[in-house]
């Protein structure tokens, strides 16, 4: 039975055109051959430069990249893009393209970026703002309130004039680099005192940190010191013999009274033992010990019962204060 069926089927296939159990495919996975079957000769490759667009084009049949020539490198270095194409069936087909030129460096490349929060605020106006009321007084108070005008010894609070050296300071009477002081720490001297700068600076410190705080606001504050003695070529305690006094070297000054702003004058002779001024005068006397090397008052001896003697002599054992 089977051989007969097979024979009938074969006969039917022969009688009916196009009838078959399977049709063969009309195409396959392999690529079609190039037109003509033969690649273009190398002579067909040309270069065309379009001047307006600045483009160089290579025409050819072979799509394989060719070695870069020196002229191509020169063209690319000059900024002209190079494009390779092939002519196929009267149309241009781009097969390769030269990589784009690198972008030029940005002018801000590598610059540090400052966060907005860290940037200084822009000034609203180029003109300086008006100083607040009381600004000058505030600055003067912070700087001590003393200008440089008329100052000596490098301290604004010491006012006076500079004198020429005189005498023989190394072995006798005389002062090297003397100054004539008229006021210290804003307090006048009743008589300008001729002393050296060491004594002037010590006097200024004593008045600023000792005498003025001791009196405070009593009588409106300290306004003047009454000078009993300053430079004088003499022996100690005005004796005919003995050692030269520190006054003879410009190292000492004697203060006999302290005048207040309301006109009250507190003398060493009367105020030292008075109920009203005794404590104040003793504090003022004690505050001189430190700025000065020698401090003598009414308790030292009879020679100093009516004044404070202060000088800048130096002792190995420290200041001598009586």
> Is 191 among the domain residues?
yes
> Is 7 among the domain residues?
no
Cβ distance 98 to 82 under 8 Å?
yes
Secondary structure class of 46 (helix, strand, coil): strand
Range of the domain at 305: 147-321
300: tokens are 């030292």
User: By mean pLDDT, which of 26-35, 166-175, 279-288 is the weakest?
Assistant: 26-35
298: tokens are 């009414």
What is the pLDDT, as a whole number, of residue 103? Answer: 74
Contacts from 164-171 at CB under 8 Å and sequence distance 24+? Answer: 167/233, 169/249, 169/250
> Is 156 among the domain residues?
yes
How many of the other CB atoms lie within 10 Å of CB of 187?
Answer: 20
> Is 199 among the domain residues?
yes
260: tokens are 């207040």
Secondary structure class of 310 (helix, strand, coil): strand
56-67 b/e with 16+ CB inside 10 Å = b?
bbbebbeeeeee
Secondary structure class of 295 (helix, strand, coil): strand
Q: Percent of the chain, pLDDT > 70?
A: 57
Task: Give Cβ neighbours of residue 113 (< 8 Å, ≥ 6 apart).
Answer: none
Task: Give Cβ neighbours of residue 275 (< 8 Å, ≥ 6 apart).
Answer: none
> Is 169 among the domain residues?
yes
CA distance 298 to 43: 128
Mean pLDDT of the chain: 78
Sole residue written with tokens 């002229």: 71
Looking at the predicted structure, is the pLDDT value of residue 211 above 80? yes
Number of domains in the chain: 1
Cβ distance 256 to 226 under 8 Å?
yes
CA distance 198 to 307: 21
Q: Percent of the chain, pLDDT > 90?
A: 52
> Is 302 among the domain residues?
yes
Looking at the predicted structure, is the pLDDT value of residue 134 above 50? yes
What is the pLDDT, as a whole number, of residue 171? Answer: 85
What is the pLDDT, as a whole number, of residue 157? Answer: 97
> Is 250 among the domain residues?
yes
What is the pLDDT, as a whole number, of residue 127? Answer: 64
Name the band, by pLDDT with cuts 50, 70 and 90, for residue 290: very high
> Is 227 among the domain residues?
yes
Helix (H) or strand (E) run with residue 250 in it: none
CA distance 85 to 173: 112
Cβ distance 188 to 224 under 8 Å?
yes
Q: Bigger pLDDT: 200 or 71?
A: 200
96: tokens are 């390769």
List the one residue out of 154, 178, 152 whose CA is nearest residue 164: 178
What is the pLDDT, as a whole number, of residue 22? Answer: 47
Sole residue written with tokens 């008229």: 182
What is the pLDDT, as a whole number, of residue 144? Answer: 66
The per-residue pLDDT for range 142-152, each reduced to its tens digit, is 456 799 999 99
DSSP letters of 60-98?
-S--SPPPPPHHHHHHHHTT--EEEEEEETTEEEEEEEP
Q: pTM of the entire structure?
A: 0.58
2-13 b/e with 16+ CB inside 10 Å = b?
eeeeeeeeeeee
The per-residue pLDDT for range 223-275, each reduced to its tens digit, is 999 999 999 999 998 898 889 999 999 999 999 999 999 999 999 999 999 99
């Amino acid at each position: 039975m089977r051989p007969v069926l097979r024979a009938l089927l074969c006969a039917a296939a022969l009688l009916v055109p196009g009838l078959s159990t399977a049709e063969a495919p009309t195409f396959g996975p392999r690529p079609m051959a190039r037109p003509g079957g033969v690649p273009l000769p190398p002579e067909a490759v040309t270069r065309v430069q379009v001047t307006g667009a600045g483009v160089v084009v290579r025409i050819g049949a072979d799509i394989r990249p060719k070695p870069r020539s020196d002229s191509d490198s020169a063209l690319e270095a000059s900024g002209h893009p190079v494009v390779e194409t092939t002519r196929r069936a009267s149309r241009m087909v781009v097969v390769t393209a030269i990589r784009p030129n690198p972008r030029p460096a940005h002018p801000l490349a590598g610059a540090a970026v400052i966060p907005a929060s860290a940037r200084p605020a822009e000034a609203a106006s180029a003109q300086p703002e008006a100083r607040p009321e009381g600004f000058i007084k505030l600055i003067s108070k912070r700087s001590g309130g003393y200008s440089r005008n008329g100052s000596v010894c490098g301290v604004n609070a010491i006012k006076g004039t500079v004198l020429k050296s005189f005498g023989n300071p190394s072995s006798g009477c005389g002062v090297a680099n003397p100054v004539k002081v008229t006021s210290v720490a804003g307090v006048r001297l009743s008589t300008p005192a001729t002393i050296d700068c060491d004594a002037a600076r010590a006097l200024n410190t004593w008045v600023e940190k000792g005498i003025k705080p001791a009196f405070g606001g009593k009588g409106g504050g300290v306004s003047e010191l009454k000078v009993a003695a300053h430079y004088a070529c003499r022996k100690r305690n005005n004796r005919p013999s003995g050692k030269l006094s520190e006054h003879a070297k410009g190292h000492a000054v004697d203060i006999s009274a302290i005048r207040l702003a309301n006109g009250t004058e507190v003398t060493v002779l009367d105020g030292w033992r008075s109920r009203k001024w005794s404590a104040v005068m003793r504090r003022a006397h004690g505050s001189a010990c430190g700025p000065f090397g020698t401090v003598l008052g009414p308790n030292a001896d009879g020679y100093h019962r009516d004044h404070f003697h202060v000088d800048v002599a130096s002792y190995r054992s420290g200041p001598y204060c009586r």
